[in-house]
Homo-oligomer: A and B are copies of this chain.
Amino acid sequence: MKNTLSRRERVKLANRKAILSAAEEVFAQKGFYAATTDEIAERAEFSKGALYTYFRSKEEIFLSLMREKVGSLEKKIKESIKVTLNPIEGIENLIKAHLEFFEENKEFFQIMASERGRFEMGIKNRLRRELMRRFQSYLKEVEGVMKAAVDNKELKAIDPNHLAIALIGMIHSFTAQWILTGGESSLMELSPVITMLFFGGAKG
């Protein structure tokens, strides 16, 4: 069973994905504002007019893309935590899951790093509100594991919010550096260093 969609609907969906994928590259390379709908259309091998039958505006392309990516990041993180009841192991898995996700979604990471500070702009926009909601939800997820580990006395009695900020900061920093230096070697290889530094600190 393919599924319940007609041929037409399946083609539409595949085209939509192709457009979002092209947009991801362009947004990552140029940033939201400097990216042009012409270039997105060209890379997706459609005319500009066709783009606008799939999405109502450039902003809708951007927000749809980000919403889907943030959603799947959150899903991946949730799953990585759920496989164990041990909070320490949960955090280890969470680090690995992040690195794996960013390695597979380099462009998304670049977009997020560059546009995160402007998510709040135009708060009235329905899609923007939903994007922010999902992003918050992802952060709360990380904070939740930290709280569990603190309650368990497995981590120091530090504000779980601070613990989450610290770990995410380290992960982002390593990922950004990995991208700047070409993104060739595997990002996952850094998982042990990050784990060790986060849990044990740098002092010898």
Contact = CB atoms under 8 A, between A and B. Distances in A.
Contacts of A200: 156, 201, 203
Contact of A202 (B116, B153, B158): B158
B158 A197 contact: yes
A193 B163 CA distance: 9
Interface of A is mostly: helix
Given A155-B202, A201-B197, A202-B198, A173 B166 contact: yes
Contacts of A117: 110, 113-114, 176, 179-180
B166 A170 contact: yes
Contacts of A154: 203-204
A174 B117 CA distance: 13
Given A34-B33, A114-B115, A202 B169 contact: no
Contact of A113 (B113, B163, B168): B113
A-B interface, 8 closest residue pairs, ranked by CB to CB distance from nearest: A169-B173, A201-B201, A169-B169, A200-B201, A33-B34, A33-B33, A199-B203, A156-B204
